[in-house]
Amino acid sequence: MAKTNTFPRLPSAFLISLTVIFLFSPLAGAKPTTFSRNLSPESLGLRREKLSHLHFYFHDIVSGRNPTAVRVAQARMTNTSKTGFGAVVMADDPLTVGPSPTSKLVGKAQGIYACAAQDEAGLLMVMNYVFTEGKYNGSTLSVLGRNKVFNEVREMPIVGGSGVFRFARGYAQAKTHTFDLKTGDGVVEYNVYVFHY
Ligand SMILES: *[C@@H]1O[C@H](CO)[C@@H](O)[C@H](O)[C@H]1NC(C)=O
Ligand SMILES: *[C@@H]1O[C@H](CO)[C@@H](O)[C@H](O)[C@H]1NC(C)=O
């Protein structure tokens, strides 16, 4: 009889100590397991926000044996649409310091542009500018905007960035430098204004 009485005590003592552990371990300074917390910008090494201006040329080559932009999808109506509505293009376009294709490479524009307007030439641009030059090497800027390609200057938002462009926000202005109506190849001058740390 004495034996059977001692057994039920063990599990209840065990349960109580488990409860104590679960209740008090977060308060006892164990590793924080919280989902969110406040912290100072300095703790991430963020001191003063800077404004940078980047200037480069974007080479969109759709013709020839080595295109840098290829159509990857379209709608049935794309062929009959006067604006190419529904066409989706994947690009890995060189960015250079000058307008010549042999000018020094500073990065690539990687992403998608698509014909998003039915009544005019209007592109949806979803792109990352990936830089390879100097302190910008490996850093990116993300562009998400509307590009009315036949306008003199088109403005697109810079919605973020990585590397030296963490917390980036700003805008890009695109101006066609040359456009070959026959081949569809284009060179576009970009001025990018961006706040970052
Ligand atoms: C659209 O036209 C191209 C050639 O101009 C053809 O290769 C393609 O199959 C056509 N697409 C559709 C969906 O009709
Ligand atoms: C950029 O970084 C990569 C990888 O770290 C390196 O291989 C490359 O040489 C760098 N390019 C320039 C232009 O500094």
CB half-sphere exposure, 66, CA atoms < 13 A: 3
φ, ψ for residue 12, nearest 5 deg: -70, -35
Q: Whose CA is nearest to atom 1 of ligand 1?
A: 79
The C-alpha atoms of residue 63 and residue 70 are separated, in whole angstroms, by 9
**189 - beta bridge partners?**
57, 175
Q: Whose CA is nearest to atom 12 of ligand 1?
A: 76
Q: Is the pLDDT of residue 1 over 90?
A: no
The C-alpha atoms of residue 179 and residue 31 are separated, in whole angstroms, by 59
DSSP code at position 183: T
Mean pLDDT, the chain, rounded, equals 89
The atom number, within ligand 1, closest to the CA of 75 reads 13
> Quick check: CB of 77 below 6 Å from ligand 1?
no
Q: Is the pLDDT of residue 152 over 60?
A: yes
> Quick check: CB of 76 below 6 Å from ligand 1?
yes
Quote the pLDDT of residue 33: 82
Ligand nearest to the Cα of 107, by number? 2
Identify the helix (H) or strand (E) that includes residue 17. Answer: helix 9-24
Percent of the chain with pLDDT over 90: 81
Q: Whose CA is nearest to atom 14 of ligand 2?
A: 134
Quote the pLDDT of residue 32: 64
CB half-sphere exposure, 35, CA atoms < 13 A: 0
**136 - beta bridge partners?**
none
φ, ψ for residue 40, nearest 5 deg: -85, 150
Q: What is the DSSP string of 60-99?
A: E--SSSS-SEEEEE--GGGGT-TT-TT-EEEEEEEEESSS
> Quick check: CB of 138 below 6 Å from ligand 2?
yes
**pLDDT band at residue 151 under the 50/70/90 scheme:** very high
Q: Whose CA is nearest to atom 14 of ligand 1?
A: 76
The atom number, within ligand 2, closest to the CA of 133 reads 13
Residues 115, 121, 122, 126, CA torsion sign: positive
pTM equals: 0.81
Q: Whose CA is nearest to atom 6 of ligand 1?
A: 79
Do 142 and 134 form a contact (C-beta atoms < 8 A)?
A: no
> Quick check: CB of 98 below 6 Å from ligand 2?
no
Candidate of 79, 80, 81, 88 to mutate for ligand 1, largest count of ligand atoms within 8 Å of Cβ = 79
Ligand nearest to the Cα of 87, by number? 1
Digit-coded pLDDT (tens) for 73-121: 999 999 999 999 999 999 999 999 999 999 999 999 999 999 999 999 9
Q: Is the pLDDT of residue 65 over 60?
A: yes
3-state SS string for 26-42? CCCCCCCCCCCCCCCHH
DSSP code at position 5: H
Do 94 and 69 form a contact (C-beta atoms < 8 A)?
A: no
Q: Is 33 or 143 the better-scoring residue by pLDDT?
A: 143
